Structure 1
Amino acid sequence: MLRKLLFQQASTARRLLSAQSTAPLLNKCSVCSYSSSSQSEIPQTNSIEQIEDQPTKTISIDRSGLYNPSEHSHEPSSDSELVKHLKGIIKFRGGPISVAEYMEEVLTNPKAGFYINRDVFGAEGDFITSPEVSQMFGEMVGVWAMCLWEQMGQPKRVNLVELGPGRGTLMADLLRGASKFKHFTQSLHIHMVECSPALQKLQRQSLQCMDEDNTSEGVEKRITSTLAGTPVSWHAALEQVPSGLPTIIIAHEFYDALPIHQFQRASHGWCEKMIDVTEDSLFRFVLSPQPTPATLYLMKRCKWAVPDEIKKLNQIEVCPKAMDLTHTLSKRISADGGGALIIDYGLNGVVSDSLQAIRKHKFVDLLDNPGTADLSAYVDFACIRHSAEEASDDVSVHGPITQSQFLGSLGINFRVEALLQNSTDEQAESLRTGYWRLVGDGEAPFWEGPDEQVPIGMGTRYMAMAIVNKKQGIPVPF
């Protein structure tokens, strides 16, 4: 789930948030009025008290495994460098920071960010992603990419981009599965958008990369994956990937780690939820007494929503970087051709309270020992659709459909049957377990092992969406 937080949030001056600019939306999405009053405090817990007595729509997240940290766990005896850094930012500004700023520092701080200097994936890490569950996931994504390539007219040169490639497992499985289709693999130049040096090293190993000998001065050394003889390049941001060629973009569990802003309804409108430090040097949640720059994105999201969606909510999450990223990749697809595949867990509508922290496969408090747990939030697929359609009239958006529908339509059922024919008993059990986790719903009915190890299906929790150039028609399997 490594994600490079690609795009800087628009630094809009607060004067743009005057009463005149917000007036047209006040009936649908009122924001906090300017005030010189002190920050409104929120109890120091994962959930926040409702200010108004009205029904609330929340995301269904199983927090039954929530770990309750010991008393005063927010204040370690010796603050980590990241904790000191966060407190320093708050002190320097003389006020709280947004949840989005907190997320960005916790996940991608160059020195102490959660993703930067270690491998957080797999059973020994903090969470397991679909590519780590089974090779079939990467193979099916490869089928989708090949189908799109054929719809594009089988161009001789294509940029295949993966955002936040983790260990490189998905791309490695994709190349292995496609290695027999030489015309496809020979057209590819792989571009890995990755900011972590530690994970870049793992990706080179997964793709079995080698440096080609080049004695010419001033010529950049070429790196090739021996899995399919495909050139590979690494970039810190999507903007660094060369344009001008048809581009296929894969964003698997990338959007969910982009920093979100949280808003809570108050008696005078929507107020942004912020993070401050108490007199006892503990992190706490507070509410901004006046509009913040992110309020512009809240108002845009409210305009896209069905009115009844907003009326039922006391909290809303918006992700400006998801909107900006979608706008950027849609513009590229419009200009160069190609498409993007987005697979993540989320909703096809406004997201309320979904932000969560996971450490060693357990839910923990969001403010507990920042930098030691992964932070992620549900993806608002409806917002992605609106952002893409706003960016260009030359792209079409398809989905979302469930991951189970997506993989099933691409042929994962036939693939698992083929693999089972030549597998050992141990391999067969692993295949069945992996298959269920990818396409199943809930606990596996065939499981006979320990209850605490029962495979949980992700087939309906995860969703797939495609953004493609209209010239290529409707992508498989949408």
Structure 2
Amino acid sequence: MLRRVAAQASANYRRLLAAPSSSSPGIYNPFRQCSTSTPSSSSHSHTPNSTCVEHLEDSPCTPSPSTKISIDRSGLYKPPEHSHGPTSDSELVKNLKGIIKFRGGPITVAEYMEEVLTNPKAGFYINRDVFGAQGDFITSPEVSQMFGEMISVWVMCAWEQMGRPEKVNLVELGPGRGTLLADLLRGVSKFKNFTESVHIHMVECSPVLRKLQYQTLKCEGEDGEKQIVSTMTGSPVSWHATMEEVPTGLPTIIVAHEFYDALPVHQFQRASHGWHEKMIDVDENSSFHFVLSPRPTPATLYLIKRCKWAETEEIAKLSQIEICPRAMDLTQTIAKRIGSDGGAALIIDYGVNGIVSDSLQAIRKHKFVNILDNPGSADLSAYVDFTAIRHSAEEISENVTVHGPITQSQLLGSLGINFRVEALLENCTDEQADSLRTGYWRLVGEGEAPFWEGPDEQTPIGMGTRYLAMAIVNKEMGVPVPFQ
């Protein structure tokens, strides 16, 4: 009986091999998808045929090389022509569209913003130097050395008010080229008790900027071999991707200058049925565009929290609201650290002391552009909500106090920038004097500089009132300079 079954199976197998290629594509035939012949020059290693060959080569049921198998490919999926061909999309755009396709729907503005700025391969901040006249924007430390020198005064005063701890962490969030910290270290270099107590921590995710910071601080040493030290003061220097990576247990002084404005924001728009989050999708022309989420999103919880901190009248007059959950969370990380370990944080950024409505902007080569235009080629930033920073800090720790915001002009003026510029003007050339006056105006002035005699398009614009400063300090430290 068993021999008859085996003989019948063998006969069926031979008939199967000899079957004509016109067999119905709707009937599964395991040999229809596999070939033992050598692939033609037009075949690719990732096609279904060659994959089957690779897995069946050592199979005991593989036909002998002399056997010819007719293959019917009519039932196989045929992708559109040129589906893998080159396109004009950048790698970042392809990645964004891939995320949207994988999700099966739109992404939040915050997800878009984070991907554009910090994508490991193509993010705006990751692989280039974006600061200075040749970059996309200029920050206060790049305007004049006086900015970093005034921040050094604040740091020294904070250290004094903390009781001159023998060991202290000095942290800068988003150090850029390292210009601010270099000017700060020059300002404190004569105070050996302070420089010998300091361990510098740079929170930076860009490999390119880390190298620039290493050079700017005149560092020596390499990771993994020995401790890296800034030869400007002899202070050890460490780099971290996030604030959470900075070691705990020591009093900490934190400087966050133009860091909060780059944190990703969520945008909400008022519609007939309440607030809906704005999302980014791809339209039929393969372009990015805004849509509204039909249902509540995870960020809605932060919207509810932010609205509780506001007056009803303030909310009622708005059609859009911008919130930054990352800023709220970061502030709580800072406040908990300062509350438990001691210390102080100084936050300087452009923003408002209230709810932000619609501030997200893109800057490319010092000019405003559409935020959806060529993602990754422009900086994205948004106004900082200083009220949300205050409430976030006070909510998480009873051991901290929050002071400000005050304007950048008030901050720098109280720290002595007027005396500093006068001292510098006494020993400089006419050209240097013009540069000093221009830098001074940009740091503390409001609007266009009245003394400017150059081209109109180069008129210095003051940052003095557009930028605000806020301090978060341990209660034991008292009221920080110059917020008294």
Establish whether residue 455 from structure 1 lines up as the match of residue 460 from structure 2. Answer: yes
Q: Corresponding residue for 1:415?
A: 420
Q: Corresponding residue for 2:301?
A: 296
Percent of aligned pairs with the same amino acid: 81
Q: Identify which of 241, 244, 268 aligns with 1:239.
A: 244
Q: Corresponding residue for 1:22?
A: none
CA distance in 2, matches of 1:305, 1:436: 34
Deviation at 1:279, TM superposition (A): 1.1
Q: Identify which of 251, 264, 275 aligns with 1:270.
A: 275
- Match for 2:188: what amino acid? A
Q: Identify which of 258, 261, 264 aligns with 1:259.
A: 264
Q: Aligned with 1:199: secondary structure?
A: helix
Q: Corresponding residue for 1:92?
A: 102
Q: Corresponding residue for 2:135?
A: 125
- Match for 2:142: what amino acid? E
Alpha carbons of structure 1 residues 222 and 92: separation in structure 2 relative to 1, 3 Å: same
Give aligned pairs, total. Answer: 398
Deviation at 1:77, TM superposition (A): 6.0
Q: Corresponding residue for 2:319?
A: 314
TM-score, normalisation: structure 2: 0.81
CA distance in 2, matches of 1:309, 1:221: 55
Establish whether residue 330 from structure 1 lines up as the match of residue 346 from structure 2. Answer: no
Q: Aligned with 2:220: secondary structure?
A: strand
Deviation at 1:375, TM superposition (A): 0.3
Establish whether residue 230 from structure 1 lines up as the match of residue 246 from structure 2. Answer: no
TM-score, normalisation: structure 1: 0.82
- Match for 1:227: what amino acid? M
CA offset digits 1:10-35 (Å, max 9, x no partner): xxxxxxxxxxxxxxxxxxxxxxxxxx
Pairwise CA RMSD: 1.2
Q: Identify which of 87, 90, 94 aligns with 1:80.
A: 90
Greater relative contact order, per chain length (Cα 8 Å cut-off, separation 6+)? 1
Deviates more, 1:224-233 or 1:114-123: 224-233
Establish whether residue 168 from structure 1 lines up as the match of residue 178 from structure 2. Answer: yes
CA distance in 1, matches of 2:138, 2:178: 13
CA distance in 2, matches of 1:284, 1:444: 39
CA distance in 1, matches of 2:480, 2:156: 11
CA distance in 1, matches of 2:436, 2:194: 27
CA distance in 2, matches of 1:417, 1:205: 30
- Match for 1:206: what amino acid? T
CA distance in 2, matches of 1:314, 1:204: 45
CA distance in 2, matches of 1:413, 1:286: 49
Q: Corresponding residue for 2:54?
A: none
Q: Identify which of 153, 176, 190 aligns with 1:180.
A: 190
CA distance in 2, matches of 1:467, 1:360: 34
CA distance in 2, matches of 1:423, 1:226: 27
Q: Corresponding residue for 2:431?
A: 426
Q: Aligned with 1:155: secondary structure?
A: coil
Establish whether residue 376 from structure 1 lines up as the match of residue 381 from structure 2. Answer: yes
Q: Corresponding residue for 2:310?
A: 305
Establish whether residue 361 from structure 1 lines up as the match of residue 371 from structure 2. Answer: no
CA distance in 1, matches of 2:429, 2:190: 25
Q: Corresponding residue for 1:46?
A: none
Q: Identify which of 199, 205, 215 aligns with 2:215.
A: 205
- Match for 2:156: what amino acid? M
Establish whether residue 138 from structure 1 lines up as the match of residue 144 from structure 2. Answer: no
Deviation at 1:221, TM superposition (A): 1.2
Q: Which sections of structure 2, spanning at least 5 residues, go unmatched? A: 1-85
Deviates more, 1:220-229 or 1:338-347: 220-229
CA distance in 2, matches of 1:313, 1:417: 45
Deviation at 1:220, TM superposition (A): 5.2
Q: Corresponding residue for 1:402?
A: 407
CA distance in 1, matches of 2:241, 2:225: 17
Q: Aligned with 2:275: secondary structure?
A: strand
CA distance in 1, matches of 2:386, 2:172: 19
CA offset digits 1:406-434 (Å, max 9, x no partner): 00000000001111111111111111100
CA distance in 2, matches of 1:185, 1:445: 40
Mark the structure with the bigger radius of gyration. Answer: 2
Deviation at 1:294, TM superposition (A): 0.2
CA offset digits 1:164-199 (Å, max 9, x no partner): 000000000000011111111111100000000000
* Within-5 A mapping of 1:21-40: none
Q: Corresponding residue for 2:49?
A: none
CA offset digits 1:203-260 (Å, max 9, x no partner): 0111001118x9xxxx751111111111111111111111000000000000000000
Q: Aligned with 1:398: secondary structure?
A: strand
CA distance in 2, matches of 1:77, 1:211: 44
Establish whether residue 280 from structure 1 lines up as the match of residue 290 from structure 2. Answer: no
Q: Which sections of structure 1, spanning at least 5 residues, go unmatched? A: 1-75
Q: Which runs of 4+ in 1 moved over 2 A?
A: none
Q: Aligned with 1:244: secondary structure?
A: coil
- Match for 1:236: what amino acid? A
Q: Corresponding residue for 2:35?
A: none
- Match for 2:294: what amino acid? P
Deviation at 1:280, TM superposition (A): 1.1
CA offset digits 1:410-462 (Å, max 9, x no partner): 00000011111111111111111000000000111111111111111000000
CA offset digits 1:130-151 (Å, max 9, x no partner): 0000000001011000000000
Establish whether residue 472 from structure 1 lines up as the match of residue 477 from structure 2. Answer: yes
CA distance in 2, matches of 1:405, 1:77: 51
- Match for 1:166: what amino acid? G
